[in-house]
Structure 1
Amino acid sequence: MVMNGERVELECEVSEEGANVKWEKDGVELTRDESFKYRFKKDGCKHVLIINEATKEDCGHYKVKTNGDESMAELLVQEKELEVYQSIADLTVKAKDEAVFKCEVSDENVKGTWFKNGVEVKSDARIKITHIGRNHKLTIDEVKPEDEGDYTFVPDGYAFNLSAKLNFLEVKIDFVPRQDPPKIHLDCMGRTADSTIVVVAGNKLRLDVPITGDPAPTVIWTKGEKILTEGDSRVHVDSINGHCVFTIEGAERQDEGIYSVVVRNPAGEDTADINVKVVDVPDPPQAPRILSVGEDSCVVQWDPPSFDGGQPITGYVLERKKTKGYRWMRLNFDPVL
């Protein structure tokens, strides 16, 4: 098995230097007329068939024949896989704010297409689609309720996609008379899965909470029993124009949890809980063990990662190499559990 574009050498050794040797692919003899595709090399009793840059068309069964004997091998050519360095994440956006879906893949030459609810997204005055190097970005300016939906990025030439949801956060602000108790106006409150704010590790966590009250209320943010202030260089707390904003630069695993905001003025107080989930790269599997070894197989068992990255594990990829070898070879194409 080789990757697309790699060099292939099929080598055999016969018992006599002057032996008549012929090569076949899927029962068809390979002749010198095809030297532009195949190269034949002989060194004493050794005979070699060379394919400089293998393609999918080169897959098949190759047979070498000589007087009274033959040998056969199968060649598999695997397409290079596209790795996802950063997937797109769900967004919750208010009216007229900006929504940005972005992802990063391993090949900067790979293009792709964005879809909303299965329909291709086209650039216009509000929607911008960019591709710079390995990064792909979809930006929606001045978000409207009709922008809510499921967004998908599909890399050209690959049978998979990256999906995320845009949630439109409707903010309702009622008339507030003077000496009114403080009020938090936030639809995304509580501790259920539907009210969870998801942020990718390394990105900015920004909790923007609309509040009302007369006189203007004071604001306290807490996580557990700890009051959050700007003592940490990553933390910023602001209260401007009827909003209390809590920001963490570069979200980390330990930032996951329930955040509480309390607003107070002489007329009363109001509180809200916001569930924040940080999605990160999972830890590697733990403690691989060989349970049994057969003639041409073995049974392997391992423990799941101690941290699953914030999402359920969908499967594992197994690779193997010879003890004195340098190259790892993938054993499965579909993830296994």
Structure 2
Amino acid sequence: KEEKVEIKVEEKKVEEKKVEAKKVEIKVEEKKAEVKVEEKKAEVKVETKKVEEKKAEVKVEAKKVEEKKAEIKVEKKKVEAKKEEKIEIKVEEEKKVAAKKEEKIEIKIEAEPEEPKTKEQPAAQKGLEAPSIEIIRDKNGSRRGSFLDDRRPSLLMGDDKRRPSIDVRRPSIQDMDEKINLPCTPLRAIGEEGKPATIVDFQESYSAVEDQTGYISVQVEGNPAPTWKFFKNITELVDGGRYKHHTDGESNTITLCIRKVKPNDEGKYRVVVSNAHGEDSAEMQLYVSDSSGMDFRAMLKKRKYAKWGNQEKDPDWGDLKEVEKPKPQLKKVERKSDTFSKPLVDITCKEGKEKKVVFEANFTKPNAKAKWMLRKDEIFTGSKYKFKNEGDHYTCTVMNPKVEDSGKYTLEIAGVQCMAYLTVEEADPVYKFTKNLKKTEKGFLTHDCHLECAVDNSLAPISWWKGETKLENSDKYVIGKELSGAVNLIIKNCVAEDADQYTCKIEKQTDKTETKLKILEYNYKFTKVLKSQSLFVKDTVTLACELDHVLGQVEWFKGDVKIVESDKVQIIKDGRKHKLVLQDVAKTDSGMYRCVSNADKTEAEISVKRPNKFMKKLKDATGDETQKCVLEVQVQDEEADIQFFLGDQEITKSDRIDIVSPGDGTHKLVYNRLELTDAGEITCVCGPLESKCTLKVNKKETKPKFEVPPKVESPAKESKVLEVPFSTGESRQSKVTVKVFKDGKPVSPEEVDIVVENDKLVLNFKSTEFKDSGEFRIVLENAAGAEEH
């Protein structure tokens, strides 16, 4: 709620005794004060008692004014000098009515050196009149009505027309931070048909943090939907590079997104929107703050004042004497100072793309001495910079601009400076192919085709083309790229129409590699063939083979007759494996079976025989390593084939193992030289019949190993028994012989009894004498070798 309080105080000065008939007119200017009082809980009620208390306070203040007048009488010098004195009297309004706000009443005392005139004091001179308080409430109850129709026109804002007609809150910084990564949605046509483009909402100032993303957003209306342009000074900011234009159709806003804001991005920006029926524009300020601190400049709002209106009511000036008009004086003509008629303009370029950039400016003083500076350092003509001056036109050419050349360039002429910023963006990286596509590639019908090449960097932007058509990831085409730089294209389920010219290109470069793709029918080859088998009546037989690819299809034949599935016959496909299963076979199922692909075939013979049984089964056997061992079995059917297995592994013929079949149904498994790995469970399989035994292989014997004490002592004329243990491995296969020598000569049995037991040698010296002393040598020997100590 708003209240308008108008207080008028008129006072006439009492005649001074010492000054004869001097008239002093005191005029109190009207002062319009707008006091806004907001009360949330209840409306302000002005009661009669409060008004009376207010009048009493004004009377007290009037006495203070009279005392002040007495002080003015003493200061005569100021009155004679015709000076004005302003006395500010602060009237404190009551807390509930004026929310503790103070009003200032200015009283101007003007002393005119006119002839003294006598004027009677009016009857109202008894005291000050009570100030009138007028409270006007806004009819619509809105705070926007604080500026009423009779307010000073200078307080009217020039942009009152800009009010959002769409009920959408102004986006916060958090809402705008991700806007640069969001997809754009087209603007909507708002308003009646033919409505001109209008900016309905924007901020006068925006703030951004250095090296982060800055945003400038406006809300627009118009039918048809308007188009837009952003400018910084006179430079248009097109969409691309560090700038992105984002549109949001929901709120009908246009946002300028500036990536990696720099200090030189600070300044005035202008947006122009237009359609076929009209255009509108708005200016705003962007402040760039350092990332380490906060910048409050964007919070300071600059008020736009309109011109003073002519409808202002003329105040009551009273009886004033006309003042002598001052004589006209000659106006001093000041010489217009030199300035830049055409300032420098900011330049943005990319390293390696531009050979040179030129700063241009026009100065009102031609052929003046110019000084160019980069940042704060003066620069001079050389291989990097070229300066030129033609009349009032001044140029600075920067050759081969690089990132380090970015910064503020300043032109100073006759003490006047003009500056602009050069922004050099990093050069686009250059990529190349390290592995090209083959000149021709082959693909196969119904198969996936792989095309592969490689680039020197996995960040390289690549694209695949089929003829003149660009390919995208889909169910048909899969585009992949690895960290190693390998690039591949997979064409799914090839058809004849996929044959074409395929090209891999590096975007924004001319480098490319291409290949000619041919689509052929795949020739399926067998990697595992069928094997012939013999079996007995009512057995089940499985014929198996394998192709080189899982997509291959085969057909089965017996002789020239194609085999189809039935209760007795099963055709199975498991990946690359293909099987034919015949159950409960009969004698008539014997024959040649064939499996055929589109480019290959394999065949095997099936032999069905009558039932059989073992006449002689396998028996457990024990053999010695390196020795010969024979296992024998006999079956009733002399034509029956048998197989020997060690565990689950089939035993086949080799230079060490023979399988002998004399022809009477007897089959022998002959080990010419046993090894320890031959030990285990041996199984003989004859069709459905099985016979098992266990083969044990002893480790071969070694030469005797033993040790004797280095010294043996015995009393004379007594018997002495010496036991020497020895070992020949896990088994003893040959006889161990002993020889004893004393001082190199054999010892006779009369002197020493020598006994060889299972694992030790016993030497019995019958009656020791001094002559028996000496060095003895013992030699143990068997078929594996001899050992002596």
TM-score (norm: length of structure 1): 0.38
TM-score (norm: length of structure 2): 0.19
Bigger Rg over Cα: 2
Identify, as 1 or 2, the structure richer in strand. Answer: 1
